[in-house]
Amino acid sequence: MGELFRSEEMTLAQLFLQSEAAYCCVSELGELGMVQFRDLNPDVNVFQRKFVNEVRRCEEMDRKLRFVEKEIKKANIPTVDTGENPEVPFPRDMIDLEATFEKLENELKEINTNQEALKKNFLELTELKHILRRTQQFFDEMEDPALMEESSALMEGNEGGRGAPLRLGFVAGVISRERIPTFERMLWRVCRGNVFLRQAEIEDPLEDPATGDQVHKSVFIIFFQGDQLKNRVKKICEGFRASLYPCPETPQERKEMAAGVNTRIDDLQMVLNQTEDHRQRVLQAAAKTMRVWFIKVRKMKAIYHTLNLCNIDVTQKCLIAEVWCPVSDLDSIQFALRRGTERSGSTVPSILNRMTTKQTPPTFNKTNKFTSGFQNIVDAYGIGNYREINPAPYTIITFPFLFAVMFGDMGHGVLMTCAALYLVIRESRILSQKTDNEIWNIATNKLTFLNSFKMKMSVILGVIHMMFGVSLSLFNHLYFKKPLNIFLGFIPEIVFMASLFGYLIILVFYKWTAYDAFTSKDAPSLLIAFINMCLFNYGDVTNKPLYRGQMGIQIVLVLIALACVPCMLIVKTMVLRRQHLWKKHLGTQKFGGVRVGNGPTEDEAGIMDHDALSQHSEDGDEHAEEEPFDFGDVAVHQAIHTIEYCLGCISNTASYLRLWALSLAHAQLSEVLWTMVMHLGLSSRSGGGFFGLSIIFAAFAMLTVCILLIMEGLSAFLHALRLHWVEFQNKFYTGQGFKFVPFSFESILEGRFDE
């Protein structure tokens, strides 16, 4: 088909860039996005390359911008996105950017430090205000004769019944509300009941200055007698992180202190408001230019990272680079180099030379918004070999056709077309919308947990189900009295499966018990561990062992599993042949286990079929009519059975993963429908009674039918995908190439690949 529907013709080219023009030339190539740079310094450490300091400076600026961005998001200030694509700053402008970001970061850190100190002071004054207010109530209650008699009796009783008048000391403070019960029990046990505790809750929550969380606290006052108890009480308060405050003993002093505290709180609140207003102004000003700053810094970092891929000639005046690029875009690349040279002010032009090479070029298929979706479907199977026919243009026609054949509904097709048309019209607005990462983080974590859990449960259920099926074969062998199938069939099969996949189940349960939700990310991969086990690969440092002695146990288990294969493949075939020869020479006798002629010993007879032994005892020396025995056919049949079983253990186990996929999809869709429709409707206070509930239920039922029941659309898509990947593409499509990844600012800013 000539050049029709093939990947672009690529060439390897050499660039000679003058040192003063290299930065601007690479900048222009990044805007063009049509060249892929090769690393000409593969043996040079990244920390020893020429522009490593510039890369570090860009990373430091990026870090400062991320800090400012975090503060902006914390303050719920929207970031302005005008869609502007600023040019790359000149290298001399880096100093100004660094000074701007340094000043902004230091100013925000100073504001945060001062604000935290002010909030801490405000918290202490607020807690002291509540203490002064509550302790006055406590002292008023202590003047109650009945309460005084109770506390005096408590103190005197614990001091051995002494009747001398008591002079009680006290400490007052604030503690987290949830610690009160434990705090009270500890006081009682350590002080042996010689203290009297009163506590009252603070109605409004207080802000933690360090975290910003709202914390519920309680005021307490502890009465005691003697310095020894005083020291014990203070140590307990310190252990429970309770804040103790000085509290005057006389009402007049407490009243005067409360007035002073209220005045200080009012002054401090005014300073806090002014500090917060200043912080908001700084962040709002930064939010207007945050996106432009990010683009400039990341473009600069990408340029210096690319320059580190180049070689520098001996004169230190020229940089040499090698790039892959499409032949059809050579003129555009030359024009970009001229623009870069002119922008830098250099008078020496940059040179591009095509090179001849035997290396396989990368594969590049030009796409647009319409064709990129179908190209992604093809690339998901594998990147095409260089100059291989690209299936994507055919897929544009055949994929919708096969989907329509399987979907087969004009009405639903019209609805899907309308939905697609809506997405096309609203494309720019949908792409510009920002999604709150913290809602989705929760959903992702939950989905990740269910994904891993259900996948492992599918494997467990699958292996148990298969082992149960193998176990049922034992009852058949017993019923038909075929001990040979038990010893050389059932036992090797169950041992083979238990040694490999039964052990895998044990590892799954062990991992669940040994690693909790916080340490599971550091746990070794069971899949990699199982593959390494089968390959006897124990030098993988990236996957640490699960337990001590794992290597020895796994080697023994694999050797046992491997030993089962010749039992099923060779030993059984040879025993069947031995039985045939024994029946053929039936006239021989055996006495007391001593073999005469070709007769079997008692040990051999123990594993022979019951039919053969009974035939020997009934027919005596008379030769019964023998069934035809072809050793080759029996060997081939046994080999097929053994290979099918061993490979089937793997493929069937993987097949059970459909339990995981369908269960997870159904559960997530069901939960979304319930949360977003029924739950919101039932929890709404503005519902219209029975009529409103009927509408909500009807909407829920319709969505349930459309999403959970009418899933032929998704099924048709998946089956069409499989038809293209397997039945269609494998007839001509190898898919073993590597993709052309050009140096492009657009790709870098969109995060399509890591730098």
The token pair at 194 is: 């010689």
The stretch 593-603 carries a mean pLDDT of 44
Q: How many CB atoms lie within 10 A of CB 378?
A: 23
The stretch 445-466 carries a mean pLDDT of 69
Residue 715 has pLDDT above 90, yes or no: no
Candidate from 320-334, 507-521, 589-603, 688-702 with smallest mean pLDDT: 589-603
What single-letter amino acid sits at 296? K
Write down the pLDDT at residue 479: 65
Q: For the chain, how many residues are written? A: 755
Write down the pLDDT at residue 598: 44
Where are the chain's structural domains?
1-39+310-364, 127-265, 443-657
- Are 753 and 741 within 8 A, CB to CB? yes
Can 1-39+310-364 and 127-265 be said to share one CATH topology? Answer: yes
The token pair at 150 is: 């109770």
Q: Which CATH architecture has domain 1-39+310-364?
A: 2-Layer Sandwich (3.30)
Residue 459 has pLDDT above 60, yes or no: yes
Supply the DSSP symbol for 328.
G
Smallest Cα–Cα separation from 439: which of 672, 153, 110, 678? 672
- Model pTM? 0.60
Residue 50 has pLDDT above 80, yes or no: yes
The token pair at 558 is: 């694999």
Write down the pLDDT at residue 38: 93
Smallest Cα–Cα separation from 200: which of 258, 125, 138? 138
Query: How many alpha carbons lie under 13 Å from residue 514 in its C-beta half-sphere?
Result: 13
The pLDDT tens digits for 155-201 are: 555 544 444 445 678 889 999 999 999 999 999 888 888 888 888 88
Please state whether beta strands 217-224 and 214-215 pair in parallel, antiparallel, or not at all (unpaired).
unpaired
Grouping H, G, I as helix, E, B as strand and the rest as coil, residue 353 is strand
Supply the DSSP symbol for 608.
S
Write down the pLDDT at residue 235: 93
Residue 209 confidence class, pLDDT cut points 50, 70, 90? confident
Write down the pLDDT at residue 520: 59
Write down the pLDDT at residue 137: 76
Which residues make beta-bridge pairs with 318?
18
**Cβ neighbours for 156, distance < 8 A, ≥ 6 positions apart:** 162, 163, 166
The token pair at 418 is: 């309308």
Smallest Cα–Cα separation from 170: which of 228, 132, 223, 134? 223
Smallest Cα–Cα separation from 498: which of 547, 558, 425? 558
The stretch 367-377 carries a mean pLDDT of 88
Write down the pLDDT at residue 555: 92
The pLDDT tens digits for 482-493 are: 888 888 888 888
The pLDDT tens digits for 695-704 are: 777 877 777 7
Question: Between vectors from CA 536 to CA 534 and to CA 538, what angle results, nearest 5°?
Answer: 120
Mean pLDDT score of the chain: 79
The pLDDT tens digits for 532-544 are: 888 888 877 777 8
In words, the CATH class of domain 127-265 is alpha beta
The pLDDT tens digits for 303-318 are: 999 999 999 887 778 8
Residue 643 has pLDDT above 50, yes or no: yes
